[in-house]
Structure 1
């Protein structure tokens, strides 16, 4: 029995999978460390949430807006070099961030991060699809690594802030990207091991992928009524995701008891006590709960219609957003419960909408369909940070969450409409 038939990863599969796992974890480590740092920046630079929200949302927007051009570059130059460039660019952006003296420089550094990070998903997913024979297993490990980065980034940042100033912390965070580059330069793998090659060394469909006219024609074919509605649905997810998570560490701080003082963890007059922020650790914990949401959401995609699942999850998120602040004010345990529910539901949506996109796009245009998906989730969704920041500067936290509930409410309604279009392609 061959290795492929037995379901085991080949040596090439393992090399590629290890590479993309490291890179995927690093991307999301940086992405979710930014909200932790924002708590420091709000105090350090005496800036309001509206201004900082706009500065951060530009970088997050570029994370999504670069997905389509990055996909074109992948087809021309290959994945390895672009992932290495992505890692190096993200590391360089955090090195620049460590020297920031104000919001303008923070915005510039985060723009560099967004441009560099936008390369990863088209390049990483393309590498798995063309180089890993056991693609399902490769995608599974890839997703697990991303979830690890989502939870690990805020936790690592919060722990480092206990011991060092934020400038040094951002400089130390260059290390994950440097390790990823080092692995890429030493790893050996064949990027096209899982696909047939043409006599000239290319892969089937290269001309089709590189043709601008074909890109336009495929896009027109792709955007049926159902796919268009699905794109708006993922926009609603992106806006709510970014709107709630960006300022959540700061918001949680308003409801957290002084755990360090109650448990006498540190001397009240010590620098450690001053830097310890329990809200950051709660935030990291809620993101870890989201890993369970990813697992449950993924399992449900095999058992129920994804439109039904999205309707239920979106509706539940809307309800959680409305009651989040009143429940959080009841005490630490209610805060823990409502926060965990938010994290679980928010991340359970991801496998649901990813599976939905597959249902409403032809197999031959799957890469293009996910390019548009990342553009909507990360690009358009980045506006959620600016919207949340503006709302928090004008109205109360409860009113902000209540207004943000408009996004999942709209997502639930559109999911119902989507289920009735009848133009699934699979």
Structure 2
């Protein structure tokens, strides 16, 4: 009877944690991947960025740098966020993240120019940056079935990744982008209310593993308490296999941000998908005016949203496989596939609609299937008490260093062409795969 009650409590705890991180993760990526939809509009709507003392022309390069500021903070803030997780716990940071993201999109809705747009994106990046170390640390220390927890966490993220761009593109058919940004601010605020009501034990899995009845690893409840300790613990992390994992996630971030920032514009302009008048898709009785006056459907935005939605399958498969195969092997296979997809993307996409959708589906699947593998690999190579710090470093690499991918992509598109961009992306994935091979061969003992 006692065992049954404990098991019921653990299951309820797991469910509460997974429900919270699924909602929050979905929100983070809803906003993150809706931003490239707005980028394609800003490229057409604005011609200059006025900083007062100087003015810059709006190009893929300048806009890539501007958007990259917010995305960079999304990653750079992960490290202090990870330190805070180990000190004050995950729940408070997740609530603050949701409230901050809602506020940033309210600011975006009121933005009169690209300078305020950049400020709103910086606010979003700062707020969103604490989520991944908080959410992933919470799964790794609070959920007993960690691999399954990562899988459902990833699925929710990809639902947000697909739903955010889809909803944004749909709303843009009928409303100005400022109005759409304001509407998008509402879900995060609702999610924040839900988060404040969540009830669970953050260290349940650690306590169950060591039989401490709640104490767990001494570091699990205290984290890093001084700068000197931060330096010493960081050195300890990077002295082992985590250094290779960190290098892998940096190249993963460069690929991810490099391919997603301008992908809607690439699909539309390079591959040649033309906007379609909504009136031509409806019966004459339902059509809103003539084809010339009706709203236009930017097909590339929905192809982009569909590509990201396919990532749900990738996240689920990757998450389940982390419990069945060495995570290092999964990294090698996943990044090798991404290198191949990058090289093949434009030649295959140019063959027609069906090949375009097929290569987009493959990109979406493998782009997100590698994420559960590196998330689980981090957990294997780091102690539970420094899990927040380790995930802080991880997402510093993925989204901080990775933010350079958007600026690199914008620069390449400005001075070269899309073919060059995809070959550079293939290089990022190839380096990550080689680093994965090194990690697989050495296989240092997990902490």
TM-score (norm 1): 0.89
Q: CA deviation at 1:219?
A: 1.5
Which residue is 1:284 aligned to? 305
Q: Which residue of 2 aligns with 1:219?
A: 234
Q: CA deviation at 1:230?
A: 1.9
> 1:19 maps to what in 2?
20
- How far residue 158 of structure 1 moved from its aligned partner, in angstroms, is 0.8
The equivalent residue for 1:406 is 427
Instruction: Give the distance between the partners of 1:76 and 1:309, measured in 2 at CA.
Output: 32
Deviations 1:9-63 (A, max 9, x none): 32x5544443332222111100111011111111011321101111111111111
Displacement, 1:398?
1.3
Contact 2:61 2:413 in 1 (8 A): yes
In the alignment, is the contact (CA less than 8 A) between 1:98 and 1:170 conserved in 2?
A: yes
Structure 2 unpaired stretches of 5+: 48-57, 283-289
CA distances 1:236-281 after superposition (whole Å, capped 9, x unpaired): 11100100011111111122544736992154213422xx111111
1:212 is displaced (CA, Å) by: 3.3
Alignment check: 8 A CA contact 1:75 1:210 kept? no
The residue number in structure 1 matching 2:134 is: 123
SS at match of 2:112: coil
What CA distance in whole angstroms lies between the structure 2 residues aligned with 1:83 and 1:364?
A: 19
CA contact (8 A) 2:133 2:389 kept: no
Change (3 A) 1:302 1:180: closer
Which of 234, 239, 249 aligns to 2:249? It is: 234
Equivalent of 1:246, from 261, 267, 272?
261
- Give 5+ residue unaligned stretches, structure 1: none
Q: Does 1:299 align with 2:301?
A: no
CA contact (8 A) 2:102 2:186 kept: yes
- CA-atom RMSD in angstroms: 2.9
Q: Per-residue CA shift, 1:75-107, capped at 9, x if unaligned?
A: 444433332221111111111111223222211
**1:308 aligned partner:** 329
Correspondence for 1:5 among 7, 29, 35: 7
What are the residue-to-residue correspondences of 1:304-343 with 2, within 5 Å? Answer: 304-343=325-364
Q: In structure 1, what is the equivalent of residue 30 of structure 2? A: 29
Rounded to whole Å, the distance in 2 between the matches of 1:297 and 1:127 is 19
Q: CA deviation at 1:211?
A: 3.8
Q: TM-score, normalised by structure 2?
A: 0.85
Count of matched residue pairs: 421
User: Residues 7 and 134 of structure 1 are in contact (CA less than 8 Å); yes or no, is this contact kept in structure 2?
Assistant: no
User: What are the Cα deviations for residues 168-205 of structure 1, in whole angstroms up to 9, with x where unaligned?
Assistant: 000100111111122234x1525557376x9xx99943
Q: Which residue of 2 aligns with 1:56?
A: 67
Cα distance between partner residues in 2 of 1:221 and 1:207: 17
TM-aligned CA distance change 1:142 to 1:297, over 3 Å:
closer
Q: Shift of the alpha carbon at 1:366?
A: 3.2
Report the equivalent of 1:356.
Answer: 377
Q: 2:291 aligns with which of 268, 285, 306?
A: 268
Contact 1:256–1:332 under 8 Å retained in 2: no
The superposition leaves residues 350-402 of structure 1 with CA deviations (integer Å, 9 ceiling, x where unpaired) of 12222332333344433322221111011110110000011111111112211
Change (3 A) 1:3 1:13: farther
Q: Which residue of 2 is the match for residue 45 of structure 1?
A: 46
Offset at residue 220 of structure 1 (A): 1.3
Query: More deviation in 360-369 or 60-69?
Result: 360-369
Secondary structure class of the residue paired with 2:173: helix
